[in-house]
């Protein structure tokens, strides 16, 4: 019986860690981009929308609408595409119809991305934070529970059933 209990706990721990470590970056972000100190010292700010498909590792697509807030540089806008592997990510985006820039970085926390970028002969840093979700128009009558919490609950129930010796109906 102890072997069953230990097996259930080990399986639950593996499932929990896989769910907790997976990253899904789908959503809307506020993007801040700056050029490394140089002749123009441009700064951009705007919106980034990402839609991840296929899990992690996987790919994502989306749009960027980022305008210059300082300096004589082109806007960063249009369709984007990229890849994610664990917490590492790479994003390609058009820069004002002049060419492409590559943003590399990582998931630094819940709803937080950051890294470095290069393109058109310039480089810099960037960060993105999840945009605040709009308030719901009415409360959801069904409680929402994250997938990892459901897995943990299932493991606890199985572990409890194994511990008390539940064998089902015979």
Distances (CA, A) of 155 to 59, 72, 165: 30, 57, 15
Residues 6 or more apart whose Cβ sits within 8 Å of residue 54: none
Q: CB of 32 within 8 A of CB of 64?
A: no
Which pLDDT belongs to residue 133? Answer: 67
CA atoms lying within 13 Å on the CB side of residue 90: 7
Distances (CA, A) of 49 to 37, 62, 146, 150: 27, 5, 22, 28
Which pLDDT belongs to residue 116? Answer: 96
Q: For the chain, list the domains and their CATH numbers.
A: 23-130 (2.40.128.120)
pLDDT digits (tens, 9 = 90+) for 21-46: 457 899 999 999 999 877 678 899 99
Structure tokens at 145: 């529970």
Tally of CB atoms within 10 A around 14? 12
Which pLDDT belongs to residue 5? Answer: 52
Confidence tier at 14 by pLDDT (50, 70, 90): very low
pLDDT digits (tens, 9 = 90+) for 108-165: 999 999 999 998 888 999 999 999 866 555 554 545 567 777 778 778 877 777 777 6
For residue 169, pLDDT over 50 is answered with yes
pLDDT digits (tens, 9 = 90+) for 64-104: 999 999 988 888 888 999 999 999 999 998 877 788 889 99
Q: CB of 42 within 8 A of CB of 117?
A: no
Which pLDDT belongs to residue 167? Answer: 60
For residue 13, pLDDT over 70 is answered with no
């Amino acid at each position: 019986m102890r072997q069953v209990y230990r097996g259930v706990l080990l399986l639950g721990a593996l499932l929990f860690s896989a769910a907790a470590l997976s990253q899904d970056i789908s959503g809307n972000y506020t993007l801040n981009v700056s050029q490394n100190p140089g002749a123009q010292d441009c700064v951009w700010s705007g919106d980034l929308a990402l839609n991840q498909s296929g899990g992690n590792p996987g790919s994502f697509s989306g749009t960027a609408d980022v305008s210059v807030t300082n300096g004589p540089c082109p806007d960063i806008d249009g369709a984007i595409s990229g890849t994610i592997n664990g917490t590492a990510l790479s994003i390609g985006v058009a820069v004002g119809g002049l060419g492409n820039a590559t943003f590399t970085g990582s998931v630094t926390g819940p709803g937080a991305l950051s890294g470095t970028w290069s393109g058109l002969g310039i480089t810099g840093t960037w960060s993105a934070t999840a945009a605040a979700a709009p308030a719901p128009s009415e409360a959801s009558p069904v409680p929402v529970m994250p997938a990892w919490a459901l897995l943990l609950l299932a493991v606890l129930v199985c572990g409890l059933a194994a511990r008390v010796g539940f064998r089902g109906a015979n």
